[in-house]
Chain A
């Protein structure tokens, strides 16, 4: 995993602001509204999930290299439920049902273990819709820092 300098609440705020800006009068933005070029370095902390139709499994459409390092088995196109237990990406996606239920962004923080490191993380998940009615994708982000024992 990358060397984390600090848990950035600001990342969550930036992503929430971005999502809010992209709403543009709608209930939520669409997947097409989320652009890597506009997110700069934050893109590497972000992920996109395609929910598919009813009864279909959610799959990763994008996963940033700082959340899921490139030297690991790729998760792109894989089911979200396949993400390893207690990993950062698993923690950052575990409240998907809550987002689906509420239809609004949800932000959760906590501790997890990833790559042998104990991490303190903060994550957010935001709904996306192409027709402003049905949620068809999720936009998320998470960052973390190593927990150091003094």
Chain B
């Protein structure tokens, strides 16, 4: 069974795929597609592998690479993320400050601590008073 394989590089223009060139080398086709995509003149590019069967005189097409403008945006965003990494660490330290603000709030809750001591003192005093009263009443 004899088969001929070629790779078509297409660009997306005006809502349709346009054939740009045909190569018999997959790597070259992929490189060509990427070069065209990087030229930023096309919203998308793709590589279609065409396998022609000489015996049956029929061909089979398969998209082996396709990229869109979204991919480019993602790639650009990724690069920006890498550049912003330093800033992000700075932002983290900045974010820590609001958390510190919440700690004093908990401290204000703890401020109720001394009042608890006062309550305990009152309780001790009442119990002592009660005990003294009971002792006095028994002695009568």
Q: Which residues of A contact B32 (CB under 8 A)?
A: 13, 16
Q: Which residues of A contact B35 (CB under 8 A)?
A: 13, 17
For the side of the interface on B, what is the size category?
Answer: 10 to 19
- Interface locus among B22-30, B53-61, B72-80: B22-30
Contact mask A23-59 → B, CB, 8 Å, 1/0? 0000000000000000000000000000000000000
Q: Bound state CA distance, A105 and B35, in angstroms?
A: 15
- Interface locus among A65-73, A75-83, A106-114: A106-114
CB distance from A96 to the nearest CB of B (A): 13
- A-B pairs with beta carbons under 8 A, tally: 35
Is the beta-carbon distance between A109 and B22 smaller than 8 angstroms?
no
Is the beta-carbon distance between A106 and B22 smaller than 8 angstroms?
yes
Residue count of chain A within 8 Å CB distance of chain B: 14
Within 8 A of A (CB), among B1-26: 19-25
Q: Which residues of A contact B19 (CB under 8 A)?
A: 102, 104
Interface of B is mostly: mixed
Q: Does residue B68 face the partner (Cβ distance < 8 Å to A)? A: no
Is the beta-carbon distance between B28 and A98 smaller than 8 angstroms?
no
Is the beta-carbon distance between B25 and A107 smaller than 8 angstroms?
yes
Is the beta-carbon distance between B20 and A107 smaller than 8 angstroms?
no
Is the beta-carbon distance between B21 and A109 smaller than 8 angstroms?
no
CB distance from A57 to the nearest CB of B (A): 24
Q: Which of B21, B25, B35 has the most C-beta atoms of chain A within 10 angstroms of its own C-beta? A: B21
Q: Bound state CA distance, A134 and B19, in angstroms?
A: 17
Is the beta-carbon distance between A109 and B24 smaller than 8 angstroms?
yes
Chain B residues close to A by CB (< 8 Å): 19-25, 28, 31-32, 35
Contacts A/B (CB < 8 Å), 9 sampled: A9-B28, A102-B22, A104-B22, A105-B21, A106-B21, A106-B22, A107-B21, A107-B25, A108-B24
Chain A residues close to B by CB (< 8 Å): 9, 12-13, 16-17, 98, 102, 104-109, 122
